[in-house]
């Protein structure tokens, strides 16, 4: 049973893309093994369970139409980053995924987001840009261009912290780090450069640290609403730690999507609402 308003919980709005055309037809990360067939029916069932779970937890799920020929489009997290209702649409590093950027940008334009900016730098959306209460944590090393980090800071008006990934299995930031609430994160230090590890220790001294085993089952590719943390059920160590820290972990099976190097978070793009009262978007002119 889901409690009515658990501590830390904030109702979220997510964008997802049904894995109707999902497959592994090219290999752009170490998880994509062309010799392993994908069970499309199972992928769809796992994805539907995730969508249903979000709805059951009280969240809103919007859908974008999947396009044929774009087997990775199911990974909605890569389509954009949305902060304060402002949309920074993705530009993909790999030709195979290039058409997804404009497709996501189009969805936002058609769905009432007044500010949609298509990134001029390689930028793989929330795959590499993760939003905390104060910062935007931005990954580089494999996909997103670090020059785009500065552009994102300018666009969102939020401080962007650059983090360098060093292990090709964790090619996107959201495979190595997850935001749990406004000021808590969990991550696997061994996925980062020494300097980035030091930065994370400095900014988040109380972070939950994931073991290599939990990272390897994509336990960090998790989605938190501030209370419930949806993550790979195989990440048993993280599950225990989350519980000990007052979160409610919910384990799911995304084994088919994992064949493309994706998990819970990869399938989920958070649509953060525009600012209302309180925090100004930009400093008032002098
Ligand atoms: N096959 C996709 C790629 O390599 C997987 C993307 C996973 N998405 C994510 N947010 N990490 O680009």
Contacts of 28 (CB under 8 A, 6+ apart): 94, 96, 97
Q: What is the dihedral of CA 66, 69, 70, 71, to 10 degrees?
A: 90
Partners of 228 in beta bridges: 248
262 CA → ligand 1 middle, Å? 5
What six digits make up the tokens of 278? 């309180």
Q: Is pLDDT of 189 > 80?
A: yes
Domain count, the chain: 1
* Per-residue pLDDT, 275: 82
Q: Is pLDDT of 222 > 80?
A: yes
118 CA → ligand 1 middle, Å? 19
Q: Is residue 5 part of a domain?
A: no
Q: Is residue 4 part of a domain?
A: no
Q: Is pLDDT of 232 > 50?
A: yes
Measured distance CA(199)–CA(215) in Å, rounded: 20
* Per-residue pLDDT, 7: 82
pLDDT tier at 286 (50, 70, 90 boundaries)?
A: very low
pLDDT tier at 39 (50, 70, 90 boundaries)?
A: very high
Q: Which residues line ligand 1 (CB under 6 A)?
A: 28-29, 32, 72, 75, 77-78, 97, 127, 172, 174-175, 260-262, 266
Consecutive H or E run containing 60: strand 60-63
How does DSSP classify residue 278?
S
Measured distance CA(251)–CA(129) in Å, rounded: 23
> Mean pLDDT, to the nearest integer, of 42-62?
98
Q: Which atom of ligand 1 is nearest to the CA of 171?
A: 11
Nearest partner of 211 among 178, 232, 235, judged by Cα: 235
pLDDT tier at 179 (50, 70, 90 boundaries)?
A: very high
pLDDT digits (tens, 9 = 90+) for 103-136: 999 999 999 999 999 999 999 999 999 999 999 9
Q: Is pLDDT of 282 > 80?
A: no
Q: What is the dihedral of CA 36, 192, 238, 186, to 10 degrees?
A: -130
- Is residue 18 within 8 A of residue 47, CB to CB? The reply is yes
Contacts of 133 (CB under 8 A, 6+ apart): 181, 182, 183
pLDDT digits (tens, 9 = 90+) for 237-248: 999 999 999 999
Q: Is residue 21 part of a domain?
A: yes
Helix, strand, coil shares of the chain, percent, nearest 5, are 30, 20, 50
pLDDT digits (tens, 9 = 90+) for 128-174: 999 999 999 999 999 999 999 999 999 999 999 999 999 999 999 99
pLDDT tier at 4 (50, 70, 90 boundaries)?
A: low
Q: Is residue 116 part of a domain?
A: yes
> Mean pLDDT, to the nearest integer, of 173-186?
97
Supply the residue whose CA is at minimum distance from atom 8 of ligand 1.
266
Contacts of 150 (CB under 8 A, 6+ apart): 160
Q: Is residue 126 part of a domain?
A: yes
Which residue out of 59, 149, 172, 227 is catalytically annotated?
A: 172
Residue 266 designated active-site: yes
Q: Is residue 3 part of a domain?
A: no
Residue 208, SS3 per DSSP: strand
* Per-residue pLDDT, 3: 54
CATH number of residue 138's parent domain: 3.75.10.10
Structural domain range at position 130: 11-276
Contacts 24+ apart (CB under 8 A), 139-143: 139/163, 139/164, 139/165, 139/172, 139/173, 139/174, 139/176, 139/177, 140/164, 140/165, 141/165, 141/166, 141/171, 141/193, 142/168, 142/171, 142/172, 143/92, 143/93, 143/171, 143/172
How does DSSP classify residue 277?
S
Measured distance CA(133)–CA(153) in Å, rounded: 14
Average pLDDT, the chain: 95
pLDDT tier at 176 (50, 70, 90 boundaries)?
A: very high
Q: Is residue 2 part of a domain?
A: no
Range in 28-37, 46-55, 60-69, 275-284 with the lowest mean pLDDT: 275-284
* Per-residue pLDDT, 277: 52
28 CA → ligand 1 middle, Å? 9
């Amino acid at each position: 049973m889901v409690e009515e308003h658990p501590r830390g919980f904030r109702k979220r709005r997510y964008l997802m893309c049904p894995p109707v055309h999902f497959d592994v037809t090219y290999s752009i990360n170490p998880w994509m093994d062309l010799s392993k067939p994908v069970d499309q029916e199972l992928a769809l069932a796992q994805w539907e369970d995730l969508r249903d779970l979000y709805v059951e937890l009280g969240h809103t799920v919007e859908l974008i139409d999947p396009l044929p020929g774009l087997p990775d489009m199911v990974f909605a997290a890569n389509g954009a980053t949305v902060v304060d209702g402002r949309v920074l649409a993705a530009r993909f590093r790999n030709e195979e995924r290039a058409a997804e950027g404009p497709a996501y940008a189009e969805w936002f334009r058609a769905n009432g987001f007044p500010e949609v900016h298509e990134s001029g730098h390689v930028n793989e959306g929330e795959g590499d840009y993760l939003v905390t209460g104060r910062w935007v944590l931005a990954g580089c090393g494999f996909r997103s261009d670090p020059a785009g980090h500065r552009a994102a800071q300018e666009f969102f008006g939020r401080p962007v912290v650059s983090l360098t990934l060093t292990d090709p299995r964790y090619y996107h930031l959201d495979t190595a780090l997850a935001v749990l609430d406004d000021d808590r994160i969990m991550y696997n230090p061994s996925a980062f450069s020494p300097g980035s590890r030091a930065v994370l220790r400095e900014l988040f001294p109380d972070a939950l640290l994931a073991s290599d085993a939990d990272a390897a089952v994509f336990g960090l590719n998790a989605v938190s609403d501030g209370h419930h943390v949806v993550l790979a059920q195989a990440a048993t160590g993280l599950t225990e730690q989350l519980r000990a820290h007052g979160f409610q972990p919910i384990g799911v099976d995304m084994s088919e999507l994992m064949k493309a190097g994706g998990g819970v978070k990869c399938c989920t793009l958070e649509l953060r609402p525009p600012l209302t009262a309180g925090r100004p978007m930009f400093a008032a002119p002098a």
